[in-house]
Amino acid sequence: MLKRMQKMYLALFIILICLPRFLCLIFEKYIDSANYENRIPAEKPAFHIDTFKDYPSEYEAYFNDNLPFRNVLISLNSWVNYCVFKSSSSERVILGKNKWLFYGDTNDGNSIADYEGTNAFSDEEIQAMKDVCRSTQNRLEEMGIQLAIVIPPNKERVYSEYMPDCYTFKESSRTDLMIEELKNEDIHVIDLKNDLLNRKSDYPLYYPYDTHWNQLGAYVGACSILNSWGYPTEDLSELTILSAAKRGGDLANMLNLSNLVFDDGAEYSIQESYSGDGTQLSDGFLYFKNPDAPIAKTVFLLGDSFREAMKPALCKYFSDVYIVPRGSYTYTMLEQAGPDYMIVEYVERCSDALIGMESIVFEK
């Protein structure tokens, strides 16, 4: 090998293998080191003789979370996968048509199984859900609270035209069948799918780069709930819709491309919605007061992350709104709020969790 080439390989070894950590320290302020992973990075472990067998894996986790130029490298890997090979760098993200992203994780519900109809509920499960829902509804009615069970459909089922052709769409999912069964038992469950499908050609209802519905989709959902209780609502066409630029989304974050490829999204809001900040009563438990609301009633919303976009719509119509994530909820909160209405929300891919609804709602 020529001397010159020898020196070049040596330089490559020094620059890319020996020096990255030092280079990272030098260029620290120019490098993106933000946390896009929604988790706390692994801490540097202390070495103890008692737990030394765990030290290698813990140190390796810490090292991996603190790689030099980490975000740059991850983005580069994702960018090459996406732009050159039209592939997803994450097994949990499915690349759809027209730059849409969908959720392929099978450990957080299973949106694809819902989409393809490969995960039916058994008769025993349906019966158990009926029993739980009926019991919860009755117990709440005894407390003077009207229940509405809301199951926002997965984005994949609302925007199936953007799903890749390799997935076979089944018109009716297990959740659709379950909702029918619950309705037959006079359980107050709201079927949002058709309402959303009917409005999606007029308004964007879900984020293309996120798993969630946006405020417009949530508004359609909230109106369906209110209409079911006999309350009139304004159609979206009667309202002023605002849009602002929005980078990325949870799915784009999984590819670490929120700032590179998927930075051209939009956030929609309704000008006439309530925009107050509310009061934090405890961890995650929020209270909103809108004295100008047409419905002088109290509503309590217990749900997952899909609940957040419903806040403006509910606060527009109800004078008192309580919102809490399922993970932070306690029965004491319900007693404290003393609502007229309770909305229990489960996104479709987690609709099997409905079977535990009663114990969650009434757990003390």
Taking contact as CB under 8 A, which single stretch among the options 159-167, 214-222, 236-244, 268-276 is the one that binds another protein? 159-167
- Single out the residue of 23, 45, 58, 67 in contact with another protein (rule: CB under 8 A): 67
Beta bridge partners of 150: 190, 345
Q: Is 256 one of the binding residues for another protein (CB under 8 A)?
A: yes
Q: 217 CB contacts (<8 Å, ≥6 apart)? A: 152, 158, 196, 205, 206, 309
Q: Is 83 one of the binding residues for another protein (CB under 8 A)?
A: no
For residues 15 and 296, which CB has a smaller minimum distance to another protein in the complex? 15
Taking contact as CB under 8 A, which single stretch among the options 68-76, 128-136, 228-236, 286-294 is the one that binds another protein? 68-76
User: C-beta of 38: minimal distance to another protein in Å?
Assistant: 4
For residues 18 and 296, which CB has a smaller minimum distance to another protein in the complex? 18
For residues 22 and 331, which CB has a smaller minimum distance to another protein in the complex? 22
**For residue 269, how many other CB atoms are within 10 A of its CB?**
18
**For residue 71, how many other CB atoms are within 10 A of its CB?**
16
User: C-beta of 25: minimal distance to another protein in Å?
Assistant: 14
Q: Is 22 one of the binding residues for another protein (CB under 8 A)?
A: no
Q: Is 13 one of the binding residues for another protein (CB under 8 A)?
A: yes
For residues 82 and 318, which CB has a smaller minimum distance to another protein in the complex? 82
Which helix (H) or strand (E) segment is 181 a member of?
helix 174-184
Q: 244 CB contacts (<8 Å, ≥6 apart)? A: 266, 267, 269
Q: 249 CB contacts (<8 Å, ≥6 apart)? A: 101, 207, 208, 209, 210, 211, 212, 258, 262, 265
d(CA 305, CA 352): 16
Q: Is 5 one of the binding residues for another protein (CB under 8 A)?
A: yes
Number of residues located near another protein, criterion CB under 8 A:
62
Q: Is 91 one of the binding residues for another protein (CB under 8 A)?
A: yes
- Single out the residue of 23, 31, 45, 90 in contact with another protein (rule: CB under 8 A): 90
- Single out the residue of 29, 30, 39, 124 in contact with another protein (rule: CB under 8 A): 39
Q: 312 CB contacts (<8 Å, ≥6 apart)? A: 215, 218, 219, 269, 270, 273, 274, 275
Q: Is 59 one of the binding residues for another protein (CB under 8 A)?
A: yes
- Single out the residue of 110, 111, 137, 253 in contact with another protein (rule: CB under 8 A): 253
Q: Is 68 one of the binding residues for another protein (CB under 8 A)?
A: yes
d(CA 228, CA 54): 55
Alpha carbon separation from 213 to 203, 332, 349 (Å, rounded) = 12, 29, 14
The 3-class SS string of 82-131 reads HHHCCCCCCCCEEECHHHCEEECCCCCCCHHHHHHCCCCCCHHHHHHHHH
For residues 49 and 238, which CB has a smaller minimum distance to another protein in the complex? 49
Q: Is 85 one of the binding residues for another protein (CB under 8 A)?
A: yes
Taking contact as CB under 8 A, which single stretch among the options 57-65, 145-153, 225-233, 350-358 is the one that binds another protein? 57-65
**For residue 87, how many other CB atoms are within 10 A of its CB?**
12
Taking contact as CB under 8 A, which single stretch among the options 56-64, 185-193, 222-230, 315-323 is the one that binds another protein? 56-64
User: C-beta of 66: minimal distance to another protein in Å?
Assistant: 10
Q: Is 110 one of the binding residues for another protein (CB under 8 A)?
A: no
Q: 283 CB contacts (<8 Å, ≥6 apart)? A: 328
Q: Is 108 one of the binding residues for another protein (CB under 8 A)?
A: yes
For residues 191 and 304, which CB has a smaller minimum distance to another protein in the complex? 304
Residue with tokens 């849009």: 243
The 3-class SS string of 271-335 reads CCCCCCCCEEEECCEEEEECCCCCEEEEEEEEECHHHHHHHHHHHHHEEEEEEEEHHHCCHHHHH
Residues that bind another protein (CB under 8 A): 1-3, 5-10, 12-13, 16-18, 20-21, 36-40, 52-53, 55-56, 59-60, 63-65, 67-70, 73-74, 76-78, 80-81, 85-91, 103, 105, 108, 164-168, 211, 250, 253-254, 256, 305
